[in-house]
Amino acid sequence: MSMDERPVVVAFDGSAESEAAVREAATLFAGRTLVVLSVWEPGLAMAMTPPPDGLSGMSYGLPDPETMATMDRLQRDRATETANAGAELARALGATVEPHPVPDEVNIAETIAGEAERRDAAAVVVGSRGLGRVKSRLLGSTSQGLLHHTQRPVVVVRTPEGAQ
């Protein structure tokens, strides 16, 4: 694939910030294919199971395999719907687009970075609420994580707090 044909990965979760990222990507990278990426978390049913409570003596059983499979399918389906919604927005703006739901590997930033590497992306575009330094450290930051986990150019589209 030549340098001019490489796609651009756009992280999309349905938020106003990710919509802004799709809009900016469609403008900045006109003519390139946008890969609208929506991350889903396999094993969520297991992660949501509370640990045994040593104080009250209550313990919770692990979800049965059918419940775990159902949760995974619902998460995957939701990610597919979300990626398709982002792709529709990009298409409405004239972009060539590929929706792509992807299971979370380690964390969202590493998953997005990994997909950008697999696709030899020209860039990664992600939205940001524009939280201050303290809030972003407390809450975690996908955009900061991307800057640490990829050598690809990262475009962070800022959305001011309250503009959601």
User: Could you report the per-residue pLDDT of 72-119, keeping only the tens digit for each?
Assistant: 899 899 999 999 999 999 999 999 999 999 998 788 999 999 999 999
pTM: 0.80
Banded pLDDT at 141 (limits 50, 70, 90)? confident
Which CATH topology does 3-37+65-151 take? Rossmann fold (3.40.50)
Task: Name residues whose C-beta falls within 8 Å of residue 148's C-beta, 6 or more positions apart in sequence.
Answer: 109
Where do we find the tokens 């597919």? 80
* Calpha distance 62→129 (Å, rounded): 36
pLDDT tens for 32-70 read: 999 999 998 876 545 554 555 555 555 556 667 888 888
The candidate with the shortest Cα–Cα distance to 131, out of 142, 119, 123, is: 142
How far is the C-alpha of 103 from the C-alpha of 43, rounded, in Å? 10
